[in-house]
Amino acid sequence: MRDHREIGQALDLFSFQEIAPGAPFWHNNGMVIFKELEKYLREELDKNGYQEIATPIMVKKEVFEKSGHWEHYRENMFYFDNPRDEKEHLIIKPMNCPESTYVYNSTIRSYKDLPLRLAEIGRLHRNELSGTLGGMFRVRQITMDDAHIYALPNQVKKEVVLFIAMLDRFYALFGLQASYVLATRPEKALGSVADWDKAEKALSDALAKARKKFTVAKGEGAFYGPKIEMHLNDSQGRDWQMGTAQLDLVMLPKQFETYYTAEDGSKKLPWVIHRAIFGSFERFIGMLLEHTDGKLPTWLSPIQVEIMNISEGQMKYAGQIAKKLRKKGVRVKLNNANESIGKKIREAEIRRIPYIAVVGDKELDAGTVSVRWYKEKENKVMPVADFAKRVLKEIKEKAA
């Protein structure tokens, strides 16, 4: 089973319903994964000097007229007239970029305020054709781990180095190796050649500083700036473009007049880095489920330990262990159903529970548990306290 939709069903993570094409219904187990990823992300944002913002999902059309999306991207957007005010035309945002500039412009910025890193876990909607929708890989409702870094041109290199370190830390958690591509100036490009040269150098210097080998995709940058793409190779040998750092030399800053006051008192436009670590939560979770065949690292698993008793005699003991682990913050399921232990184990394996802890009379007498870890074939018998310690350590370290 390697289709994330099947894995999602087996693990009770999410479902797709006819009433909402291209938008998943997250069940509680799926939300656990989602929340753990958000938590990880927010810790990283805090440690790296980002500010988290949240901008409206629905805004007036003029925002996306100004950004050029209305002209060039209209069929990909959901928009409507306010039935209570025919002069008010509204758009459900397909991206966060334009709105971040309103936060930037909410006060006067000086060069001393830069770099300003505005992050948003944004809920976006894009009007994909219903025939092209497919599980988590092509959705209409997208949750992006987005950020816009407003920086002085000479700050870009350092910002990108910091960002690459964030990518490294994140993908190492899953034992995934990243490769990098630098996409450079296309034939039709906005901005001066001198700026482009400087921008491309900043990105390639950042990659060198981070000791990353990279290939150059000549002429494949966006018309408003070069970008770095991070690619992954999953366990199926597939290539995924995940992280990006897109440099924006002219578009967003110019359209939305995001000035700062320079040291000499003049007004200047910063460069903007649009960057995302995994791009979309939906796509990343789908990829991860297929990459791991649903065997998520323990810290991400909706249920981390399932405790089961062999017969009624150990029901109370199993309950006590479950309670003890829960108190320590472990996500535990107690399975004291009156079924054969073989069946209970098989079902827990289908649900990819990292730790299956079985208790029979022997374990009850000795104060132990018989533990099966999903990455090992052998069962290990250990005292309950040791088991708890091992699980907690693994969760804390976010071991792969």
Residues that bind Zn ion (CB under 5 A): 97, 274
As measured in angstroms, the least distance from the Cβ of 146 to Zn ion is 6
Beta strand ranges found along the chain (DSSP E): 14-15, 25-26, 51-52, 58-60, 78-82, 85-92, 116-125, 141-151, 178-183, 214-217, 227-233, 239-248, 260-261, 267-268, 271-280, 305-309, 332-335, 355-359, 368-373, 379-383
Q: Which is nearer to Zn ion, 227 or 372 (CB)?
A: 227
As measured in angstroms, the least distance from the Cβ of 95 to Zn ion is 6
Q: Which is nearer to Zn ion, 82 or 105 (CB)?
A: 105
Q: Which is nearer to Zn ion, 95 or 303 (CB)?
A: 95
Strand pairing report for 305-309 and 332-335: parallel
Q: Which is nearer to Zn ion, 104 or 317 (CB)?
A: 104
- What does the alpha-carbon distance between residue 129 and residue 21 come to, in Å, rounded to a whole number? 10
The b/e string for 181-202 (b: 16+ C-beta within 10 A; e otherwise) is bbbbbeeebebeeebbeebbeb
As measured in angstroms, the least distance from the Cβ of 255 to Zn ion is 12
The answer to whether the CB of 161 falls within 8 A of the CB of 30 is no
Residue 73 DSSP class? S
As measured in angstroms, the least distance from the Cβ of 202 to Zn ion is 18
- What does the alpha-carbon distance between residue 83 and residue 381 come to, in Å, rounded to a whole number? 66
As measured in angstroms, the least distance from the Cβ of 52 to Zn ion is 15
Q: Which is nearer to Zn ion, 144 or 359 (CB)?
A: 144
As measured in angstroms, the least distance from the Cβ of 274 to Zn ion is 3
Q: Which is nearer to Zn ion, 210 or 222 (CB)?
A: 222
The answer to whether the CB of 149 falls within 8 A of the CB of 159 is yes
Q: Which is nearer to Zn ion, 33 or 97 (CB)?
A: 97
Give the bridge partners for 142, in sequence order: 124
Q: Which is nearer to Zn ion, 7 or 149 (CB)?
A: 149
Q: Which is nearer to Zn ion, 97 or 228 (CB)?
A: 97
- Angle CA 272–278–281, to nearest 5: 115
Residue with tokens 């436009």: 269
As measured in angstroms, the least distance from the Cβ of 195 to Zn ion is 19
The answer to whether the CB of 335 falls within 8 A of the CB of 307 is yes
The b/e string for 99-121 (b: 16+ C-beta within 10 A; e otherwise) is bbbebbeeeebeeeebbbbbbbb
As measured in angstroms, the least distance from the Cβ of 97 to Zn ion is 3
Sequence-distant (≥ 6) Cβ neighbours of residue 357 within 8 angstroms: 305, 306, 307, 308, 321, 369, 370, 371, 372, 387
As measured in angstroms, the least distance from the Cβ of 215 to Zn ion is 24
